[in-house]
Amino acid sequence: MLPVKMATPLSVIVGTATAIYATWLSRKETDWRSAAVLIFFSFLGIPLGLYALSYLPDHMMK
């Protein structure tokens, strides 16, 4: 099993690629106003997640 500090970035890369592809496929049906709110708050959470990944021990992240 991969350590948390290695598995997390891999998961983010795969998840982001999948989300971009799914968004592209459904771009005509997407409610962009609602999506903008979700994207905004997702970007707010990124620094918190990076901080936790960098400074918290692995056992707390699992």
Over the stretch 7-53, which tens digit does the pLDDT of each residue have?
888 999 999 999 999 999 999 999 999 999 999 999 999 999 889 88
Q: Are 15 and 22 a contacting pair, CB within 8 Å? A: no
Looking at residue 24, its pLDDT comes to 94
Say if residue 4's pLDDT is above 90: no
Which residues does 38 contact at the CB level (< 8 Å), separation at least 6?
none
Q: Are 23 and 30 a contacting pair, CB within 8 Å?
A: yes
- pTM value is 0.62
* C-alpha distance from residue 13 to each of 19, 20, 41 (Å): 10, 11, 18
At residue 9, the pLDDT reads 87
